[in-house]
Every structure is written in structure tokens, then in C-alpha cells.
Chain A
Amino acid sequence: MTHFLQVQGLKKAYPATGKTGELVVFEDISFDIDKGEFVCIIGHSGCGKTTILNVLAGLEQPTDGHAFVDGREVSGPSLDRGVVFQSHALMPWMTVRQNIAFAVRSKWPDWTEHQVQSHVQQFIDMVHLQGSENKKPSQLSGGMKQRVGIARAFSIQPKMLLLDEPFGALDALTRGNIQDELLTIMQQTRQTVFMITHDVDEAILLSDKIFLMSNGPRAQLAEIVANPLPRDRTRASMHHDPKYYEVRNHLIDFLVHRSKTYSTH
């Protein structure tokens, strides 16, 4: 157990129904993530990215294979792993503050009201939502909602974060801003992150390693690309680095051509 997160021979299949045989979404997925690494996983829809994330989160059981986090097998959901959902998944009847406090109280049930509130405030400040603490999610824009989702996941100070396309539903400008914020937060906290994305630039900007998945069914982890850009890259300067286009072209080539034909069988 040298790696922080280990995934071995993960497989997800749905049982045969009537005419069709067993439907294998993905199989033979093995990878490791070290502490402090930011990993993005890219692949076309239907390759089972979300299922892999749900397995890591403990929300779904794989058909075969194992996932270990910090030396222990994932057997169910845990406060050790914070999840940011694609659909932000905030409780609409709670205010921003209550939504985050709900998570904080779940992690530390013995804390006093004062401790909870000051902890919550710290994370509201982190995502720059001062002034919106007492608003309901319906009064917030899409970007702000997702910020609350991120603050909620960070507030329980998990050992690792799982992000399921957190910026998928946002427009390009908002997405850029939140990516910058996330990048700053990551550079400060050195969280271990596993993130799903569709956006090649987002992956290059944020991650240390990029996992490429071939198309499903029977999707596989085709390639692991290490990000050659320096860790202090920013969205503004990243595209001036000559290595940027090299990586970008490599990723896009994969998604457009090789993801369809990739197979070890």
C-alpha cells in the first residue's frame, strides 16, 4: 500500500436482460493516485466515468475489483471523501450557510454552534460568497450554487475530493472564473482530487495527471498522460507554453480518433 488511492481491476456490468447479454460498462480499470495529486478523467459519455467516481465515493458497488483509499477498502460512503455533484445537489430549503453547516455538523456533531458557524464562515470566504450566506440556492446563479457545493465538500476537510463534472452546467465565462478559484484553492490546500470532466482545457489547467478512457461499452483506461506544464500555471498564461498545444493535441486526437478504436482484445 504505497499509494494513497489504489484501484484494482474495477469492472461494472449490468446483468443480461432478455435478448441482450451482460452489458459490461467498463472492465480492468486499475490506477493509483498519490496524496496531493489532482487527477482528471476524460472520456466520452457512457464510458462509465461517473460510475467509477461513485464507486470511489462508495455510492455504488462495482461488479468486480477493489478500490482502496489510504490503505482501507472502500465499502460505503464516508466523510473521508468529499463529493461535489454535477447538479450541485444543494438542499433548496436551506440557506447557503445552513447547507454548509449541515455538512460540518455531520462531521463534527460535538461542536458548539459558535465553532460550527466560524468554520462555515471560513469556507464561505474561501469561495467568495460573502453577502450571500443567508440566500436560498434558488436565489443564486449557477456558478454560485456550484461554489456552495465546493465549499460544502471542502468544509468537512476530507482526505480526498471527488468532483463529478462540477462545471459541466456552467457557461464558459463563469466556468473560467471558478476554475481559477479552484486552482488557487488547490495550490493552497494540496488536496487529493479525482475529477471528471469533458473539457480538455480544464483538465490541462487543473490536473497533474489526465486519465483517458476509451469508449464504452467495455471501456478501459487507455492512457495516463502526465501534465508537462508547471504546477503554477494559470489560465491566462497557460496557452503561451509550447507544451500546452502538444498535450492538447494529444488529448483531442485521442478523444476524436483513438478512443473509438482502442481495444486490448
Chain B
Amino acid sequence: MPLALFTLKDSNISAIFVIFICSVWPMLINTAFGVASVRKEWMDVSRTLEVNPLRKAFLVVLPAAAPTIMTGMRISIGIAWLVIVAAEMLVGGTGIGYFVWNEWNNLSIANILVAVFLIGVIGMMLDMMFARLQKAVTYRD
């Protein structure tokens, strides 16, 4: 984070950068894995039908890898939410993370507990949202 602040010279952009860097990996690795493990028979079908690369990407590879990609996104959104809160504590000024830190300085434990609860609920809702998306793209064999 300090390195990001030093090079980017902007606290908001640095925060976004740190959130991105922390949360991108599960998504990236899962996407790569999902695309790499698209079944050979589906690729063979597309090859024998001479499907052009763009159609192949959107109609074969993307739907085939979608469940794995969504899994990665679900993990990523969880990490991103945690890092958002932490980054807000450090950057300060706005956000629920800053609020928690500020209330700690005010020694208002009740407010902190409410905020922590809220963070938990939002995190859960985000996770549920992605769980639903994941279910929507999952296919039965």
C-alpha cells in the first residue's frame, strides 16, 4: 500500500489498485483453469464444424468454462470486500472501513459492532449473489 501510494500519488487510485491486485488472482487462475479444461470433444466438434474463433470463444469456451469462472469470481468478490474495508481504514476519509476506525478512536464499541455486523451482512449478500449467478451458468451433464 505505501508503495502504491508512493508511485501512484493518489490515495483513491492506490486503494483501488491494492484491492484489484489482492482479488484478481482467484478469478484469473480459475478462468485459466476453466478454459484449459474445456472438454476435448466439444473442441473437436467446433473444429469439425469450422466454427470461427469468435463464435467458438463465446458459444463454446465461455459457457463451458463459466461455472469455473464464476467460482473464481465468487472467491474474488469475498477477498475484494475484505480488502475494501481494510483499505478504507488506511486511506481514511470515507467508507465503512473508515467509520469503524473512527469509532474505535471515539471508543464507541456499539457503533463498531453495528458496522462489523453490516460488513458481514453485505459480504454474505455479495456471496449469495454470486452463488446465484454461479447456479445460473452451471450446466448438467
Closest CB in chain B relative to A153 CB, distance in Å: 9
**Contact of B140 with A136 in the complex, beta carbons under 8 Å:** yes
Residues of B within 8 A of A83 (CB): 44-45, 48
| Residue pair B49, A85 in contact (C-beta under 8 Å) | no
B-side contacts of A106, CB under 8 Å: 49-51, 55
Contact mask for chain B residues 42-75; partner A; CB cutoff 8 A; 1 contact, 0 none: 1011011111000100011001101000000000
Most B CB within 10 A of own CB, among A58, A77, A87: A77
Residues of B within 8 A of A238 (CB): none
The answer to whether the Cβ of A107 comes within 8 Å of any Cβ in the partner chain is: yes
| A152: min CB distance to chain B, Å | 8
Closest-CB distance, A234 to chain B (whole angstroms): 31
Q: Are A77 and B47 in contact (CB under 8 A)?
A: yes
Is A103's CB under 8 angstroms from B49's CB? yes
**Total residues of chain A contacting the partner, CB 8 A:** 24
- A93–B59 CA distance with the chains assembled, in angstroms: 10
CB distance from A17 to the nearest CB of B (A): 22
Tell me the complex Cα distance, A119–B48, Å: 19
User: Across the interface, do B44 and A85 meet the contact criterion of CB distance under 8 Å?
Assistant: yes
Beyond A87-B41, A89-B42, A92-B139, is A59–B47 a contact (Cβ under 8 Å)?
yes
Interface residues of A in 43-96 (CB under 8 A from B): 57-59, 76-79, 81-83, 85, 87, 89, 91-93
Closest to B51 in A: A106
- CB of A92 within 8 A of CB of B140, answer yes
Interface of B is mostly: helix
Q: Which residues of A contact B44 (CB under 8 A)?
A: 59, 77, 83, 85, 89
Main SS at interface, chain A: loop
> In the bound complex, how far is the Cα of B49 from the Cα of A156, in angstroms?
8
Q: Given A79-B50, A106-B50, A106-B51, A85–B45 Cβ distance below 8 Å?
A: yes
Partner of A93, one of B41, B47, B139: B139
Q: Kindly list chain B residues whose C-beta atoms are within 8 Å of the C-beta of A91.
A: 42, 45, 60, 63-64
Whose C-beta in chain B lies nearest to the C-beta of A60? B44
**Inter-chain contact A57/B59, CB cutoff 8 Å:** no
Taking CB atoms, residues of chain B closer than 8 Å to A156 are 49
CB closest residue in chain B, given A149: B45
Neighbour of A82 across the interface among B41, B48, B139, B141, CB < 8 A: B48
Residue among A59, A102, A106 facing the most chain B CB atoms (10 A cut-off) = A106
> A76 to B44, alpha carbons, bound, how many Å?
11
Query: Chain A contacts of B42 at CB under 8 A?
Result: 89, 91
Chain A positions 87-146 with a Cβ under 8 Å from a chain B Cβ: 87, 89, 91-93, 102-103, 106-107, 136-138
Besides the contacts A77-B47, A77-B48, what 15 more A-B pairs have beta carbons closer than 8 Å?
A57-B48, A59-B44, A59-B47, A77-B44, A77-B49, A81-B48, A82-B48, A89-B45, A92-B139, A93-B139, A103-B49, A106-B50, A107-B49, A136-B140, A138-B140
Shortest beta-carbon contacts, A-B, top 10 = A89-B41, A138-B140, A106-B49, A93-B139, A77-B47, A92-B139, A93-B63, A77-B48, A83-B48, A89-B45
Binding site for A on B (CB under 8 A): 41-42, 44-45, 47-51, 55, 59-60, 63-64, 66, 137, 139-141
